[in-house]
């Protein structure tokens, strides 16, 4: 659909926090924010990988206070707007108020795909604070389309302006994305978004399928830096959408420069599809579980793939990170 306007939200400084073990420095944040702003990226996420308030023993402590990093990123921006992620129960309403004071102008309120009702007060507060507000339905592969639509309608009722299908495990196939996005588009009057992970090497294909089915907000990460095998790669999206005739307002060369000259310099490893991350997509396990599973595998001398397959059987979701070591210990005893 030539000339359709898409809004790209870059998640390098939030989803990428998982791969960085939440150790972003202020210098890295400033350089990335400055590059995204200069490239014309309209919104970018910045917070702990698990959202506001995520810095903790369970999810991993951040190197720096996320509010200071939001302030630093804000100082580097002339046109880009800052977005934050909020998972009710991890992040509190006061965390959102503080993020706004620090410079946030958009929030994605995230819940499991069947639990939108826990987000009502957070969505309402977001609208009161004047934020661009999105509902983020995570682990979208774990619910039939009818349930996804039902939950998305709740977000719309609460006041969300956008609702996202979130492929947290990188488990969806393109035809499934098409079906789900079309259903959301047909049943809701608000805008539809898609957030993909590349565990089955389908992030770009799934993002394109989402756009062709009616999504107008899409997420990406520079050099694919993100949980698991990473996200849909921002600079690749810009190139592909330009070839298709979609309008993003982002300069391809500039976004490539920040990816290759800034982000590549601090990435701990390339975002490859490894044995563990492939199993995330295959088994439908939350992408941020990968590093935890790898560490548990070493501690208990078991195969991380076995841990992830078992977690998939148990339908583990975000917030159940404690289950990873429990599963590893059980597998160790069995062997």
Asked whether residue 197 falls in the same domain as residue 304, the answer is: no
Whether residues 226 and 309 fall in one domain: no
- Is residue 212 within 8 Å of 186, Cβ to Cβ? no
What DSSP string runs through 111-149?
EETT-GGGGHHHHHHHHHTT-EEEEEEESGGGS-HHHHH
Confidence of residue 114 (pLDDT cuts 50, 70, 90): very high
Per-residue confidence band for 322, with pLDDT thresholds at 50, 70 and 90? confident
Report yes or no on 48 lying in a domain.
Answer: yes
160 belongs to a structural domain: yes
Checking if the pLDDT of 335 tops 80, the result is no
Sign of the torsion angle spanned by Cα atoms 212, 213, 216, 222: negative
Both 65 and 184 in one domain: the answer is yes
For residue 275, name the pLDDT band (cuts at 50, 70, 90). confident
217 contacts 194 by C-beta, under 8 angstroms: yes
Q: Of 321 and 135, which is predicted with more confidence?
A: 135
Q: Which residue has the tokens 């590093």?
A: 291
293 within domain boundaries: yes
Q: Is 176 found in the same domain as 320?
A: no
| Residue 119 belongs to domain spanning | 7-266
Q: Does the structure show a pLDDT above 90 at 156?
A: yes
Is 64 catalytic? The answer is no
In a domain, 2, yes or no: no
Angle among Cα 275, 314, 170 to the nearest 5 degrees reads 45
The DSSP output letter for 5 is B
Task: Check whether 222 has a pLDDT greater than 70.
Answer: yes
| 247 and 317, same domain (yes or no) | no
pLDDT at 172 over 80: yes
Rounded Cα distance between 127 and 29, Å, is 27
Instruction: Give the Cβ contact number of residue 295 at 10 Å.
Output: 14
Domain count within the chain: 2
Model pLDDT, residue 162: 98
For residue 1, tell me if it sits in a domain: no
* Rounded Cα gap, residues 33 and 45, in angstroms: 10
Query: Does residue 99 belong to any structural domain of this protein?
Result: yes
Same domain, 174 and 55: yes
Last residue of a domain, which of 266, 283, 298?
Answer: 266
| 36, pLDDT greater than 70 | yes
Residues 250 and 305 in one domain: no
The C-alpha atoms of residue 269 and residue 146 are separated, in whole angstroms, by: 39
Average pLDDT over residues 218-233: 97
Residue 37 forms part of a structural domain: yes
Could you tell me where the beta strands, DSSP code E, fall in the chain?
7-13, 43-46, 81-86, 104-112, 132-138, 162-166, 191-195, 217-220
The arithmetic mean of pLDDT across residues 82-105, rounded, is 97
Residue 1 predicted with pLDDT over 60? no
CATH number of the domain that residue 286 is part of:
1.10.8.60
Which of 244, 266, 288 finishes a domain?
266
Considering the domain architecture, whether residues 68 and 41 belong to the same structural domain is answered as: yes
**pLDDT bucket at 57, cuts 50 / 70 / 90:** confident
What's the confidence (pLDDT) of residue 286? 85
Tell me what the mean pLDDT of segment 115-144 comes to. 97
Packing angle of the helix pair 290-300, 304-313 (nearest 10 deg): 120
Residue 107 has φ and ψ, to the nearest 5°, of: -135, 140
Pair (306, 205) in one structural domain = no
Distance CA 98, CA 90 (A): 15
Counting residues of the chain whose pLDDT is more than 70, the rounded percentage is 99
Question: In angstroms, rounded to a whole number, what is the distance separating the alpha carbons of residues 206 and 167?
Answer: 9
Question: Which pLDDT score is estimated for 2?
Answer: 55
Residues 193 and 290 in one domain: no
* Cβ partners under 8 Å of residue 308, min gap 6: 276, 279, 280, 283, 285, 289, 290, 293
Domain check: are 247 and 291 in the same one? no
Q: Is residue 300 part of a domain?
A: yes
- Contacts of residue 263, defined as CB under 8 A and 6 or more positions apart, other chains included, come to 12, 16, 32, 222, 223, 225
Joined together, the tokens standing for residue 115 give 């639990």
In this predicted model, what pLDDT tens digit does every residue of 61-72 receive, in sequence order? 998 999 999 999
CA separation, residue 254 to residues 239, 243, 269 (Å): 12, 17, 23
pLDDT at residue 290, rounded to an integer: 86
Grade residue 262 by pLDDT with cuts at 50, 70 and 90: very high
Q: Are residue 130 and residue 257 in the same domain, yes or no?
A: yes
Beta bridge partners of 86: 109
The residue out of 266, 296, 312 marking a domain boundary is 266
> What rounded mean pLDDT belongs to the chain?
95
Q: How confident is the model over 180-212, as pLDDT tens digits?
A: 999 999 999 999 999 999 999 999 999 999 999
């Amino acid at each position: 659909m030539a000339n359709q306007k898409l809004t790209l939200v870059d998640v390098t400084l939030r989803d990428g926090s998982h791969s960085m073990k939440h150790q972003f420095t202020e210098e890295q944040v400033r350089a990335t924010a400055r590059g995204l702003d200069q490239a014309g990226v309209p919104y970018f996420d910045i917070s702990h990988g698990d959202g506001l308030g995520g810095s903790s023993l369970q999810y991993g402590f951040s190197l720096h206070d996320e509010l200071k990093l939001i302030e630093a990123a804000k100082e580097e921006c002339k046109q880009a707007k800052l977005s934050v992620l909020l998972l009710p129960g991890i992040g509190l309403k006061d965390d959102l108020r503080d993020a706004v004071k620090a410079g946030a102008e958009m929030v994605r309120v995230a819940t499991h795909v069947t639990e939108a009702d826990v987000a009502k007060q957070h969505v309402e507060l977001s609208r009161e604070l004047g934020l661009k507000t999105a509902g983020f339905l995570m682990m979208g592969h774990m619910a039939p389309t009818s349930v996804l639509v039902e939950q998305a309608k709740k977000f719309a009722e609460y006041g969300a302006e956008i609702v996202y299908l979130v492929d947290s495990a990188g488990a969806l196939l393109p035809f499934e994305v098409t079906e789900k996005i079309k259903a959301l588009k047909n049943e809701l009057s608000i805008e539809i978004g898609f957030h993909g992970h590349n565990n089955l090497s389908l992030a770009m294909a799934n993002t394109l399928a989402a756009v062709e089915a009616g999504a107008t907000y899409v997420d990406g990460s520079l050099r694919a830096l993100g949980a698991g095998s990473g996200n849909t790669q921002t600079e690749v999206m810009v190139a592909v959408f330009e070839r298709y005739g979609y309008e993003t307002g982002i300069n391809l060369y500039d976004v490539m420069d920040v990816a290759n000259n800034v982000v590549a310099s601090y990435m701990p490893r390339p975002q490859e599809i490894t044995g563990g991350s492939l199993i995330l997509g295959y088994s439908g396990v939350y992408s941020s579980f990968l590093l935890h599973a790898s560490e548990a595998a070493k501690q208990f001398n078991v195969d991380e793939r076995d841990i992830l397959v078992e977690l998939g059987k148990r339908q583990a979701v975000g917030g159940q990170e404690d289950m990873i070591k429990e599963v590893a210990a059980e597998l160790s005893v069995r062997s």
